[in-house]
Amino acid sequence: MVSSTSSYRGRLAPSPTGLLHLGHARTFWLAAERARQAGGKLFLRNDDLDAIRFRLDFVAAMLGDLRWLGLSWEEPVVAQSEHHALYRAALEKLHAAGLIFPCTRSRRDVLEAAGAPHEDEAGENDEPVYPPQFRPAAGAPLPPLGGKITVNWRFRVPDGQVIAFADSRMGPQAAVAGRDFGDFLVWRKDDVPSYQLACVVDDAAMGITEVVRGADLIKSTFRQLLLFRALGHPAPAFHHCPLMLDDQGRRLAKRHDALSLRTLRERGVTPAEIIRGFGAD
Ligand code: GLU
């Protein structure tokens, strides 16, 4: 008998910058469920590029907490900190195509020129649209990247272009480049790739077919779709889960220690009780 093999490849991509809370647990549990129902494979990627907030004990805690919840994934765990060469190659491709530019403006320059950032319904700020007057002229020759990168590099978004995707949970999504989001960072002056670039390069390299993550990242998805296209990779499907809110309607964050899986576990809450609490969503 020929067994049917599914081409579904999903991933869990926690950042080891704090303890996982109930909101993470719900998203990751759902990601695992979707992979299981599709008969596919699930990978775990340790998004460990944030050197300032990174802690080794958080890596152990996130793996331990997800296993405790009953999740499993393909071994070995993938770590972004081991993929520098892959990210650098992608940056060189963007550079060769003239799709990025160096930016020496400070965060403050950008904030002052762009005005107040737009707040969405969840009370979340996205970064302000990069002021077009700060861009070098289109087609101006780019300086070389150099060995170690000491300046920020941004992706030049195609102004006025509608970027759209069909989200299997949240429905049709669309944003206008240059209006709803602007030129975004792909590489930082401390020689670290941005989340947007690293995420796209890895999702492509890992052959991910569906990305399941929190709805706070929908805004990132528009940027990432531009990068998939620029790098010549097919984009995965997207399933963004509604964010879990606390009793005051604020999204769960690392400040909600009482709702960390660690604390719940110590208080004797069982994985079955936690999963039952997720309901149909
Ligand atoms: N590591 C990212 C985070 O924890 C999520 C990345 C993703 O799912 O694309 O916010």
pLDDT of residue 280: 59
Asked whether residue 3 carries a pLDDT value surpassing 90, the answer given is no
Tell me how far apart the alpha carbons of residues 113 and 134 are, in angstroms, rounded to a whole number: 9
Residues sharing a CB contact under 8 Å with residue 224, sequence separation 6 or more, in sequence order: 196, 199, 200, 203, 235
The full set of domain ranges for the chain reads 1-82+245-281, 83-197
Residue 208 is encoded by which pair of tokens?
A: 């991910």
Domain 83-197 has CATH 3.30.465.10: no
- Structure confidence at residue 1 as a pLDDT band (50, 70, 90): very low
Cα(215) to centroid(ligand 1), Å: 11
Cβ of 213 closer than 6 Å to ligand 1, yes or no, is yes
Q: Do 1-82+245-281 and 83-197 share a fold?
A: yes
151 touches ligand 1 (CB under 6 Å): no
116 SS3 class: coil
More confident residue, 245 or 228: 228
CA of residue 12 to ligand 1 center, whole Å: 8
Residue nearest ligand 1's atom 6 by CA? 13
Instruction: Tell me if 20 CB under 6 Å of ligand 1.
Output: no
In angstroms, what is the span from residue 14 Cα to ligand 1's centroid?
A: 6
Q: Decide: 171 and 181 in contact? Cβ < 8 Å.
A: no
pTM: 0.94
With the most atoms of ligand 1 within 8 angstroms of its CB, the residue from 42, 199, 221, 241 to mutate is 199
Between vectors from CA 163 to CA 157 and to CA 167, what angle results, nearest 5°?
135
pLDDT tens-digit profile of 20-32? 999 999 999 999 9
Per-residue model confidence as pLDDT tens digits over 214-233: 999 999 999 999 999 999 99
In 10 A of CB 18, how many CB atoms?
18
Which of the pair, 116 or 204, is modelled with greater confidence? 204
> Please, which pLDDT band fits residue 247 given cuts at 50, 70 and 90?
confident
Rounded to whole angstroms, what are the CA distances from 181 to 70, 155, 224? 38, 11, 12
d(CA 239, CA 10): 11
The response to whether residue 243 sits with its C-beta less than 6 Å from ligand 1 reads: no
Q: Between β-strands 9-12 and 41-46, what pairing exists: parallel, antiparallel or unpaired?
A: parallel
Q: Which atom of ligand 1 is nearest to the CA of 203?
A: 9
- Closest approach atom of ligand 1 to CA 214: 8
**Ligand 1 atom nearest 213 alpha carbon:** 8
Predicted local distance difference test score (pLDDT) of residue 117: 64
Q: Which superfamily does 1-82+245-281 belong to? A: HUPs (3.40.50.620)
Q: Ligand 1: which residue has its CA nearest to atom 5?
A: 13
- Average predicted confidence (pLDDT) for the chain: 93
